[in-house]
Structures are given as C-alpha cells and as structure tokens.
Amino acid sequence: MTTPGIDEDRLARLLERERAAWIEGRPKAAALHERARASQVHGTPHHWVRQFPPPVPLVVERAEGVRLHDTDGHVYADFGLAATAALWGHTHPAVVEALRDQLGRGTITMWPGEDHVWVTEELSRRFGLPYWQFAVSGTDANRFALVLARVATGREKILVFNRAYHGALEPTYVVLTADGVAPEPGVDMGGIDVRRTTEVVEFNDVPALERALAGGDIAAVLAEPVMTNGGAVIRPEPGFHAALRSLTREAGTLLLFDETQTIPAGPGGCVRELGLEPDLIAMGKFVAAGIPAGVYGMSEEVAAVAARYTEHGDGGLGSTLAGGALAVRAMRTVLGEVMTDKAYAHMNRLAERYAGDVAAVIERHGLPWHVGRLGARVSYAFMPEPPRNAGSLYPKPGGSLRAALWLFLANRGIVLNGMSGAALFSPLSEEADVVRHGELFAEVIAELAAV
C-alpha cells in the first residue's frame, strides 16, 4: 500500500540501501542469527523479533541507561524501551541498587514480605482501586482480571475494541469485519470460536457499544483508556468514557482498563489523568522495571468475588511465580523512587520536543500525517487527522515506510519501537538524543517526500 506524501521509488531505493547497510555493518549479529536458526523458531527467541524491520535482529550485548550496545560495536539511543517494560531506562540507579541488594536476600519464597503490603497500598493510593493481586505479566494480569469478571457475572463473553492488543489472550485476537467478529488476519484460532467468546466494537462508537451490551451477556469490557496499539494515539471523544461507564453499569458488565501501554500518561495512568472509575485495572511490564511481573486491581465487590472464588479448590489466580520477592522489590522501588512527578516532568518535556520536531517536518513538507502524544509516548500515523478508532488505521498504509524510517534512524544510532515506530521517554532519556532524532527525521523525510 502506498503512503500519502511519499515518493515510492525513492522509498524503495532508500529501503534497499538501509537494509544493505544494516546487514553489512553487522557480521556478528548475522552469524548469531544463523546459529539461532538451529534451536529457535525463525531463529528468534520470540516471534515479535522476526516481525521487526531489521533483516538481521539487533543483537544486544548490553543495555545501559538508555543506550543499547550491540554485538558488532554499535551504540543506539533507545526510544523503544521494550514497549514500556524498560520505561524507566535499562539501568536506573535506584532499581539496580535495590535489585542487587534483593538478590542477596532471595528472589522468591512463596511467602509475603513487607514489600508486598507497601506495594498494594501504594497501588491503591495511585489508581484508586482498593484491592490488588500479583501476576507474572500484563497478559496474565488481564487474564486473571477476566476470570474474575466471568466468575462475578456468570457470563463467558468479553468485549474488546477493534484492533486492540491486550497480550497473548486468544479471545482478544479478533477484528470487526463486514460479517461481524472474525479472528485477526493471520492468526490461526486453533478451533476457538471467537463469535462465542468475544464481541468487538469500534472505539468511540457509543451506539454500537450500547447494542453490544444490551444482550446482557458480556462479562467485561477490556479496554485501553486511550488506545495506543497500531502506531497511533487514539483519544476518547468527549462523553465516551462517561457513556462506557454508565452502559457497563446498566448491563451488569465489569469495566477493566489495561494500563500497560498508557502509563506514560502520568504516574497514576490514564485512570487518574482522566478521572476514570473502572471495576478492574491490569498492567504489566513497567511496574517491576522489566522483571517479569504484572498486577491487577479490583473494587470491593470484585474482591469479594475473588475471595469466594479462591476459598477452596485449585482454579488458581496467579502462578507460583507471581509476586516473587525480586519482582516486588522492583515494584516498590519503581513506585517509591522512580515513577515520580519529577520524572514525568522530564519525560514529558522531551516527548513534547520530539513531537514538535516531527510535527514541524510534517508541516514543512505538507505531509497528510499527524503526530499523537500521550504524555511520554509519541507516535505518528500516516493520515491527516487523529483516528477516531483503530479500525480506521487498517488496511495500514506505510508498512515499508515504517521499516525504512526505522532502519534509517537505527543505522544512525536511534532505535524506535520495532512494531509501531512509537517513541517512549524515560527519566534517563537525554535531550541531545531527541535533538539528534529531530535532525535525522528532517533528513530522511527530505529524501523521501514527494514535494
């Protein structure tokens, strides 16, 4: 698919040139990738890496501060930050010190410590829900929150917004088509009937939401409060959240917000920024500074259901590894020392500068694109207006443009998110890298713009 404003011939030439330069500069990475093919599917540790733009994966020798050092001796300023898992930087001094100390005190025991209580108290204070439990990832946190919603309502079906991503959860691999709900293109559902498990509507579509909830068979709406997946920031229209809350209440459906990607909005997430009142909140990645972990919070009513559900039997929530001492110490450090108003002020300032640089280049070339920013997260979409919903991002223009931009920047020491091209800003992010990005973005667009 072509990209508005871009000269396709120049784009094809640039992409070829940057791919060749990437491979040529990375003989050790190429050799390692070849070696990995014998013991890893696709020669990558997980399939996302294969879907990222570089023809040979970026092989990281070490990550320090906001720098990635690769095995061939290149150094990059990391704006991808592991899709929020490394939102606080790779080696935040407070986290490193705390984890070094904790390693000498044990990583996991299956017993609680004072850190657990401190963390759940602080989560309640920040996010407003009174009860919290631990999980091993964002995926897990969403899964357990959905289990509780099903138990609380006695209903199986969930509702998600079109083209949302909430982790490795089969009932969410769905899209809205002219014929209704269907498996996400390219995903083999392995026999799961998504029409039974899931309802899908477009974000910001209140009438469709009302129709979908009217049947009284939806256990929970699982949603990002502001949609971030798909390389755009999609904001709720005025009144949308109020309607979502009142419609779910009327239908006896629980409202579950996934803050995994929206936490760059502020130290209490979008829930606090937008004054939202969900029944459940789930999040992962950032909460333990990259130590695998997730948390989910719930209202008094849901907590009572959880207490009943877990009274007897093995239908457990969580896993043996949930709430290990190392992960929880990381959470205490993140919440207590890292995720501060001061840190967010720095992150926001850099994000604003970055977004301004991109917007200026778009304007200079009259490109029909726009820049979206949610606090310390910035992404741009190849369409003139901010999208109302994620469905309007598909079919996606600019697949090869995203790859070309990623490679051009990475060949010059800047790494964006490999999937969406989004940039994140950490307390350790540096202004000089943002300035450098602005210069490089201007250079690459001058080469590619049709006018």
For the bound state, the minimum distance from the C-beta of residue 165 to ligand PMP, rounded and expressed in Å, comes to 5
User: Phi/psi of residue 64, each to 5°?
Assistant: -135, 130
For the bound state, the minimum distance from the C-beta of residue 93 to ligand PMP, rounded and expressed in Å, comes to 24
User: Residue 315 burial by CB count (10 A; 0-12/13-18/19+): exposed, middle or buried?
Assistant: exposed
Nearer to ligand PMP among residue 153 and residue 260 (C-beta): 260
Structure-token match 């040979």, residue found:
56
Nearer to ligand PMP among residue 167 and residue 278 (C-beta): 167
Nearer to ligand PMP among residue 165 and residue 408 (C-beta): 165
For the bound state, the minimum distance from the C-beta of residue 348 to ligand PMP, rounded and expressed in Å, comes to 20
The CA distance from 50 to 25, in Å, is 19
Nearer to ligand PMP among residue 86 and residue 409 (C-beta): 86
CB-based contacts of 348, cutoff 8 Å, min separation 6 = 375, 376, 425
For the bound state, the minimum distance from the C-beta of residue 87 to ligand PMP, rounded and expressed in Å, comes to 12
For the bound state, the minimum distance from the C-beta of residue 419 to ligand PMP, rounded and expressed in Å, comes to 9
Nearer to ligand PMP among residue 335 and residue 422 (C-beta): 422
Check the CA dihedral 152-155-157-160 and report its sign: negative
For the bound state, the minimum distance from the C-beta of residue 133 to ligand PMP, rounded and expressed in Å, comes to 16
For the bound state, the minimum distance from the C-beta of residue 297 to ligand PMP, rounded and expressed in Å, comes to 15
For the bound state, the minimum distance from the C-beta of residue 28 to ligand PMP, rounded and expressed in Å, comes to 28
Q: How many CA atoms lie within 13 A of 208 on its CB side?
A: 14
Nearest by Cα to 167 from 317, 41, 284, 322: 284
Nearer to ligand PMP among residue 3 and residue 172 (C-beta): 172
Parallel, antiparallel, or unpaired: how do β-strands 218-223 and 254-258 relate?
A: parallel
Question: In this structure, what token pair is assigned to residue 141?
Answer: 């946190």
Q: Kindly list the distances between the CA atom of residue 422 and the CA atoms of 133, 285, 296, in Å, as whole numbers in the listed order.
A: 30, 16, 25
Positions in the binding site for ligand PMP (CB under 6 A):
83, 137-139, 142, 165-167, 224, 229, 258, 260-261, 284-285
Roughly what angle, to the nearest 10 degrees, separates helices 240-251 and 206-214? 10
Nearer to ligand PMP among residue 260 and residue 426 (C-beta): 260
CB-based contacts of 391, cutoff 8 Å, min separation 6 = 162, 163, 175, 176, 202
Nearer to ligand PMP among residue 166 and residue 402 (C-beta): 166
For the bound state, the minimum distance from the C-beta of residue 250 to ligand PMP, rounded and expressed in Å, comes to 26
Question: In this structure, what token pair is assigned to residue 242?
Answer: 């109020």
Contact 56, 26 (CB under 8 A): yes
For the bound state, the minimum distance from the C-beta of residue 246 to ligand PMP, rounded and expressed in Å, comes to 24
Nearest by Cα to 219 from 160, 173, 270, 161: 160
The CA distance from 424 to 89, in Å, is 10
Nearer to ligand PMP among residue 83 and residue 181 (C-beta): 83
Contact 165, 231 (CB under 8 A): no
Q: Give the angle subtended at the CA of 259 by the CAs of 253 and 261, to the nearest 5°.
A: 135
Nearer to ligand PMP among residue 226 and residue 448 (C-beta): 226
Nearer to ligand PMP among residue 205 and residue 258 (C-beta): 258
What single DSSP character describes residue 237?
Answer: P
Structure-token match 């309607």, residue found:
243
CB-based contacts of 327, cutoff 8 Å, min separation 6 = 134, 288, 291, 292, 293
Which residues is 64 bridged to in the sheet? 67
For the bound state, the minimum distance from the C-beta of residue 416 to ligand PMP, rounded and expressed in Å, comes to 15
The CA distance from 359 to 370, in Å, is 7
